[in-house]
Amino acid sequence: MARLNPSSINTIRMITFLTHPHSIKTDVEPVLLDFAGVRAGRAGSCSDNLSNGGFMIEVDHEAGYLKRGRYAPEHGGAFVDEHPDSKFPFVGFQIPYWEEAIELCFRTAMALPSVRSVGWDVAITDDGPLIIEGNCPWAPRLPQGYGTGFLNPERRARLEDAGATLPAPHLPP
């Protein structure tokens, strides 16, 4: 992950939902990974926060490879396919220890059954993933602005399956 920017950790925000924690269904996964995005810092900065000029890179959360990045709206909202400082072309880059990171977040989420959804900040170390912190509430602007958003039918169905209450699928006329 240091190939993105060696001066910051470049954490992965992984948003999980407990799916029907009291259900006796055996065909339902107990935890859903709904969104993953890497926060990339800028050269010389130890912070990967979007508010400090960093940007978010969407992750294909099933396969663990990087997609396009995007700056926060307050920094112009531009899309990027390579790091502006390191020039690392990150689209298609496979996150090391991806499956292990998912497993770590799922195990930790199941250990906190009273918390339905958490935004985990995960660092990838040489020895594997490490949870930096869990955020509850987490920032809904991340999947909305840096992913596919909440209003597409696929995500709505996944979240409703997980027990989330969502607003109407479209605005009234």
What pTM value is reported for the model?
0.84
Closest Cα to residue 164, out of 12, 42, 22, 17?
17
- pLDDT by 10s per residue, the chain, length 173: 989 998 899 999 999 988 765 555 555 578 889 889 999 988 888 888 777 888 899 999 899 999 999 988 888 888 999 999 999 999 999 999 999 999 999 999 999 988 888 999 999 999 999 999 999 887 776 777 777 776 677 777 767 766 666 666 655 54
Q: Which residues contact 74 (CB under 8 A, 6 or more apart)?
A: 51
